[in-house]
Amino acid sequence: MKHQYKPKGVCSVRFDAEINDEGIIESLSVKDGCNGYGKGMGRLVQGRHMDEIIERLNGVTCGKKPTSCPDQFAKMLAEIRDKAKK
């Protein structure tokens, strides 16, 4: 299933992810922000379960900001997971 998320407090303006019914991330694309981050994260998370990514990326900060693109991606995944449980 395809999901879209607008992160808050970071340089990236949109995450587009495809996650299958088992919770495995099939793809991630990041609009704006660091080009290398978007490409690298897309490759790193592909084929991994979203619970693993949430655990690893939740709470990562960027400089003095209280969040980061990785943290925002973890928040996206947590929202998807929580909606699926309902």
Considering the entire predicted model, what is its pTM? 0.94
Q: Which two tokens stand for residue 62?
A: 């960027």
- Find out whether 59 and 35 touch, Cβ atoms under 8 Å: no
What one-character DSSP code corresponds to residue 34? -
What one-character DSSP code corresponds to residue 6? -
Q: How many CA atoms lie within 13 A of 41 on its CB side?
A: 25
Residues 40-82 have pLDDT tens digits of 999 999 999 999 999 999 999 999 999 999 999 999 999 999 9
Helix, strand, coil percentages in the chain from 3-state DSSP, rounded to 5: 40, 25, 35
CATH top class, domain 2-85: alpha beta
Q: Kindly report the backbone phi and psi dihedral angles of residue 40, in degrees, each rounded to the nearest multiple of 5, phi listed first.
A: -65, -45
Share of the chain above pLDDT 90, in %: 88
Round the average pLDDT of the chain to a whole number and report it. 95
Residues 1-32 have pLDDT tens digits of 999 999 999 999 999 999 999 999 999 999 99
